[in-house]
Amino acid sequence: MSFRSLSVFVFLTVVLLSPQSVFAGDIDEPLVDLKSEIERLKQHEGGDMPPVDNADSAKSKVPPVEVKQLKPSNQAKKVSTPRVVKSVKPIPSAEDRWSYSGSAAPQNWGKLSEDFRLCSQGKNQSPIDLNSELAIGSQNLPSLNVHYPPVPMRLDKDSRSLTLSLEPGALMSLGSQNFQLQAISLHTPSEHSLEGQFFPAEMQFWHRSASGELLAAAVFMDIGVYNANLDALLSATAKNDLQMMKNLPAGLVKPLEWLPGITEYYRYNGSMTTPPCSEGVNWVVFKQPIQASVEQIARLQVLIGENARPIQALHSRLPIRSWLQGEAQSLPYEYY
């Protein structure tokens, strides 16, 4: 199932919100046309993004900037003719050339550089479709524990992604092995799929152990109730600039609030979802999505565009699920 056009995105949104959808919750809010929301928000490109229509959200007022008038100098200045220098654009490296569309789209990543060969030749690539019937049920997986205190972070936005880079202090552990949370990336639509179904967005929490081992935890984002934590992030990116970098104080965005309440998850061995598509990544994908309002998800889609890699083949892999089919049991999952 592809999510490569806005019409597909709108169709999936309606499916997710229909009463027959297994992912739609008991939402009292009326259905909203996501396509209309996106078209309305696109008219604001180049200026401030419109605020979320939420009666409970705080309205912060920015004081006017004081502009000092500069007095002209009485001394005559000699004006020299500027030297004309021909601009030479540097040849972009392979790391800069890859994209989500056109000739540098995901299906061609492996051809852009020898360093990217795993993108086309790898046998343990991500993302994948997660199917509970194919996955192996187990309750013997290491316990999953989370320690995400507020830490300062930096927001980076470019034409391909929106990423939060965190200072040290936030940890996720699998059994006795600790992984430090280093970055959170956002994708619209979701990169992984669940039982063949995609979600409007996916958040990926990237961790690294002291030995250099990678752990990526993925959380689906569905349309539902207003998400105050996501609004804090969207407010920090009010300007729809192509590139931006901004330091965020500790506590402004709380990663812990982006984890779902139900602890069931899939685990499998995969890769990075962007070039060079390095393998050996431990993936944890939570079964239950978090929620955000339709306007928030529309703003997110307008802000970062479509940046999801297509589903990759399983080959010989069989994901593991942390619950036994038909039994409401889950692994220990602790917040502290």
pLDDT at 80: 44
Residue 13 forms part of a structural domain: yes
Range 165-179 average pLDDT: 95
Query: For the domain that residue 27 is a member of, what is the CATH number?
Result: 3.10.200.10
Residue 93 forms part of a structural domain: no
Q: Which residues of 198-217 are buried (b: 16+ CB within 10 A; e: fewer)?
A: bbbbbbbbbbebeeeebbbb
Residue 277 forms part of a structural domain: yes
Range 13-38 average pLDDT: 48
Report the domain count for the chain: 1
The first and second tokens of residue 268, run together, are: 């499998």
3-state helix, strand, coil in the chain (%, to 5): 20, 25, 55
d(CA 257, CA 231): 12
The first and second tokens of residue 77, run together, are: 């200045």
Q: Is the peptide bond before 106 cis (omega within 30 degrees of 0)?
A: no
Residue 73 forms part of a structural domain: no
pLDDT in tens, 267-315: 999 999 999 999 999 999 999 999 999 999 999 999 999 999 999 999 9
d(CA 74, CA 77): 9
Residue 129 forms part of a structural domain: yes
Arithmetic mean of pLDDT over the chain: 79
Angstrom distances, CA of residue 74 to CA of 67, 71, 231: 22, 9, 51
pLDDT at 173: 95
Angstrom distances, CA of residue 163 to CA of 103, 157, 180, 336: 24, 6, 16, 25
- pLDDT class for 245, splitting at 50, 70, 90? confident
Residue 89 forms part of a structural domain: no
Range 211-218 average pLDDT: 97
Q: Which domain holds residue 320?
A: 6-45+98-335
pLDDT at 42: 65
Residue 92 forms part of a structural domain: no
pLDDT at 139: 82
pLDDT at 127: 98
Percent of the chain with pLDDT over 70: 68
